[in-house]
Structure 1
Amino acid sequence: MVWDWLPEYAPRFAEGIWLTLQLLGLSIFFGMMLAVPIGLVQVTGPWPLAWAARAFCTVIRGTPLLIQLWLVYYGLGSLFPSIPGIRETMIWSFLRDAFPYAVFAFTLSVAGYEGEIMRGAFKGVPKGELEAARAIGMSPLQVLRRVWLPRALQNVFPTLAGEFILTLKATPLAATITVFEVYGVGSIVRQETYRVYEPLLFVAAIYVFLTLCLVVLFRFLENRRKIPNT
């Protein structure tokens, strides 16, 4: 084992870790913002929205993330440059980078998987708790914000933790569209140093560490949100 290359590439790995965390954090945030209404509408209706939400979840869960990523990148990425005058606008510097397309693709993936999980979570909340909240005069929005959503999240926190870890382990796919996160940096190291095992082992160790951080974070949040049974 030869590790003399590590000091030279350590700054690039630090940048790769930061890019990985950005990709993961943004996709989880925006994905969950979509997953909650996607799960809720499947339980409450109306049926056209419920049907559309189910169809979306089926398509996302039924197709590989790599294909979704390429469709977004090569589809939208080739569409925007054809819009007249867009290259002269301020948003072109944003749209010509691969990172936003990766975030968008991962966001859709998170929304599809977690939307189905949230459907089961909303459905699993006892109706008696919702009826009690309505009985004391809560509005539908208050019932959702104070009772239904917290209870649903509490029920599926361990499942969400596992799904987000899977999303973390899927981030190396972003390297296929030139988003050089941790795995992408490891690939550069392998190409430039002709070392195969050491960069892969180092990248694997980083992902193990990030996974442990996610596990600790979700256990902390789970304990904070725990609601005693009465």
Structure 2
Amino acid sequence: MIDILAQFWRAFLYWDGQRFSGLAVTLWLLVASLAIGFMLALPLAVARVCPNRCISTPVRLYTYVFRGTPLYVQLLLIYTGIYSFGFIRSREISDALFRSGFNCAILAFSLNTCAYTTEIFAGAMRSMSHGEVEAARAYGMSGFNLYRRIIIPSALRRSLPLYSNEVILMLHATSVAFTATVPDILKVARNANSATYQSFQAFGIAALLYLTISFALVAVFRRAEHHWLRYLAPRAL
């Protein structure tokens, strides 16, 4: 393992301002995908709980498709499938977008995590106490203000435990990015294995890096839960 680290530590960890390390690529994939997925999931979750079927059914279909198919297949469809269409290659913007494996990976990860996050937020909205909504309406809130000031903040707080699991799972899911030739942690580990034939050591380093990031994310979410969910803790009489 020391030999592999001495030879590949730059590829795993070092960033010189021009070439990203495997760790930096993995973190960027994770942060970008989660950010895009989160921003899309909020309005979709509101649409998901809407009593109007014309609004909720398309969202339900979208989450069903992306939660019912493997992320690996979704990435292959976006990276190799969509680019095979002539009208995609004939347009400059779409050609530049789908020609890049990095862009395709972020798009696939964002759509996938958005589907799961939408269901998490929608479930939290459905489980809200009826008294919270009635109290807000008694103060004159309705429509946009009711969602902005009461429903969405309350749902986000109570979604933290489930959303933290989704973030960890998304970190693990980024390991399939090597399929789109993205030089993430696992791609560097595969290169190290091909060069040295030390499979256990090469993939062991990758496992340790993923484990370290996971522990850091768990610690962050524990602090967030302690801060924002403190009001749910039992209190001494």
Report the equivalent of 1:10.
Answer: 9
Query: Is residue 2:112 matched to residue 1:112?
Result: no
Preserved contact between residue 83 and residue 95 of structure 2 (Cα < 8 Å): no
CA distance in structure 2 between the aligned counterparts of 1:94 and 1:104, rounded to whole angstroms: 10
Report the equivalent of 1:42.
Answer: 48
Among all aligned residue pairs of Structure 1 and Structure 2, give the percentage whose two residues are the same amino acid. Answer: 34
Q: Secondary structure at the match of 1:118?
A: helix
Report the equivalent of 2:36.
Answer: 30
Query: Is residue 2:224 matched to residue 1:218?
Result: no
Report the equivalent of 2:72.
Answer: 66
Note the alpha carbon deviations across 1:195-214, whole angstroms, 9 max, x for none. Answer: 11101111101011000111
Report the equivalent of 2:90.
Answer: 83
Q: 1:227: Cα distance to partner?
A: 5.7
Q: Secondary structure at the match of 1:228?
A: helix
Where does 1:1-230 land on structure 2 (aligned, <5 Å)?
2-14=1-13, 15-79=21-85, 82-83=89-90, 86=92, 95-226=98-229, 228=231
State how many pairs are aligned: 225
Name the amino acid aligned to 2:89.
S
TM-score normalised by structure 1 residue count? 0.90
Preserved contact between residue 133 and residue 150 of structure 2 (Cα < 8 Å): yes
Q: 1:81: Cα distance to partner?
A: 5.9
Name the amino acid aligned to 1:49.
I
CA distance in structure 2 between the aligned counterparts of 1:53 and 1:94, rounded to whole angstroms: 25
Q: Secondary structure at the match of 1:125?
A: coil
Name the amino acid aligned to 1:140.
G
Q: 1:103: Cα distance to partner?
A: 0.4
Give RMSD over aligned pairs.
2.0
Note the alpha carbon deviations across 1:170-203, whole angstroms, 9 max, x for none. Answer: 1111101101100111001001112111011111
CA distance in structure 2 between the aligned counterparts of 1:42 and 1:94, rounded to whole angstroms: 29
Q: 1:83: Cα distance to partner?
A: 1.1
CA distance in structure 1 between the aligned counterparts of 2:97 and 2:22, rounded to whole angstroms: 19
Preserved contact between residue 101 and residue 181 of structure 2 (Cα < 8 Å): yes
Preserved contact between residue 82 and residue 98 of structure 2 (Cα < 8 Å): no
Name the amino acid aligned to 1:108.
L
Q: Which runs of 5+ in 1 are unaligned?
A: none
Task: Indicate how the Cα distance of structure 1 residues 62 and 92 shifts in structure 2: closer, same or farther if over 3 A, else same.
Answer: closer
TM-score normalised by structure 2 residue count? 0.88
Name the amino acid aligned to 2:188.
V
Q: Which runs of 5+ in 2 are unaligned?
A: 14-20
Preserved contact between residue 47 and residue 55 of structure 2 (Cα < 8 Å): yes
Q: 1:224: Cα distance to partner?
A: 2.7
Q: Secondary structure at the match of 2:2?
A: coil
Comparing 46-55 and 136-145, the one that deviates more? 136-145
Task: Indicate how the Cα distance of structure 1 residues 227 and 139 shifts in structure 2: closer, same or farther if over 3 A, else same.
Answer: farther
